[in-house]
Amino acid sequence: MDQKVLVKQEMDLSPYRVFDEKQWARLRADTPMTLTEAEVTQLQGLNDPMSIEQVEKIYLPLSRLLAFYAESTFGLHTATQQFLGTRDSKIPFIIGVAGSVSVGKSTTSRVLRELLARWPASPKVDLVTTDGFLHPNAVLEREGLMGKKGFPESFDRPSLLKFLSDIKAGKRNVRAPVYSHFYYDVMPGHSVTVDKPDILIVEGLNVLQTRELPKDGRAVPFVSDFFDFSVYIDADEQLLEDWYVERFMRLRETAFRDPSSYFHRYSRINDEEALETALRIWRDINLVNLRENIFPTRPRADLILTKDKSHKISKVALRKI
């Protein structure tokens, strides 16, 4: 069969509609720009540039789409309550943001939080990262898992599921633990409180992760079961490696220089040793996690944002309904 025909058949069978930047930007319609250039600059992460043009072309259309999804979901909840004759607490709209280390999940999540909070209805929007649900280093060391930090088994999954269950149940003042990248550990005694948000963004490496299902048919909850919409941020492996190494080398000149930093020792080695160290960490830990656990979850996302070499979103894939 002709190669072009095969490609067309594959596209027809794909569960996604794919847009380039120009096509997606048209879907902004009349959504107002509510962020200034200075605010966008403040929201971007280290080595993850974000331009106001990208916000206008990519994130404003996404904000408009999420407004439609949220409105429909709230309407569905109301209809279900009417059917059941119940008056349950307000149920938040939860958005999951997944992707590799160094792909820019944090920047995307922060930009979305600010855009969504500035909708005309001024909804309450909170953001939680799953890093806080990592087991403390003491536990990881005891279990021999320090070399697999960020892998699914390094997280306190029951605590994360309980947190999301309480949020979905409309409970007040639900606490989430806090993780410090500076100290490379969960901070004992520190937490953030999530109090009945309208929208909650949950950002993390493995938030779309599943696991082997039991043969007896028992219910096995996944983190993604609590999501109303999910985003996967994608980029070529080589780009991710380059971005990780660039960030590592920049941190050597900034945060790593502080003697209190977990990674302070890397500020005292020469550039060649630092480069070798960054590549080893990427290839032995982050790349393995990407291939084994993160990338395979990409087809589970409702929306896939693909980045190019300049960190710009060059392609948007939206799941067909």
pLDDT at residue 88 greater than cutoff 80: no
Q: List the helix and strand counts (H, then E) for the chain.
A: 11, 9
pLDDT at residue 193 greater than cutoff 80: yes
pLDDT band at 12, cuts 50/70/90? low
186 falls within a domain: yes
Domain containing residue 194:
95-205+258-319
219 falls within a domain: no
Segment 203-221 mean pLDDT:
84
Segment 284-293 mean pLDDT:
97
> pLDDT value at position 3?
54
> pLDDT value at position 87?
81
Q: Residue 167: which CATH number?
A: 3.40.50.300
279 falls within a domain: yes
> pLDDT value at position 4?
52
At position 178, the amino acid (one-letter code) is V
239 falls within a domain: no
Reported as a single tens digit per residue, the pLDDT across 23-61 is: 999 999 999 999 999 999 999 988 889 999 999 999 999
222 falls within a domain: no
User: What's the number of CA atoms in the CB half-sphere (13 Å) around residue 67?
Assistant: 20
pLDDT band at 1, cuts 50/70/90? low
Q: Which residue has the higher pLDDT, 215 or 114?
A: 114
Dist CA 203 CA 206 (whole Å): 9
pLDDT at residue 277 greater than cutoff 90: yes
Dist CA 316 CA 171 (whole Å): 35
> pLDDT value at position 7?
47
Query: Roughly what angle, to the nearest 10 degrees, separates helices 60-84 and 105-117?
Result: 70
Which positions ≥6 away from 154 have C-beta within 8 Å? 134, 135, 140, 145, 148
pLDDT at residue 173 greater than cutoff 80: yes
Tell me how many domains the chain contains: 1
Reported as a single tens digit per residue, the pLDDT across 145-169 is: 999 999 999 999 999 999 999 999 9
pLDDT at residue 82 greater than cutoff 50: yes
183 falls within a domain: yes
8 falls within a domain: no
The dihedral formed by the CA atoms of 150, 154, 158 and 163, expressed in degrees to the nearest 10 = -40
Lowest mean pLDDT among 37-46, 129-138, 179-188: 37-46
Note the pTM of the prediction, 2 decimals. Answer: 0.93
How would you write 17-79 as a 3-class SS string? EEEEHHHHHHHHCCCCCCCCHHHHHHHCECCECCCHHHHHHHHHHHHHHHHHHHHHHHHHHHH
286 falls within a domain: yes
Reported as a single tens digit per residue, the pLDDT across 93-128 is: 999 999 999 999 999 999 999 999 999 989 999 999
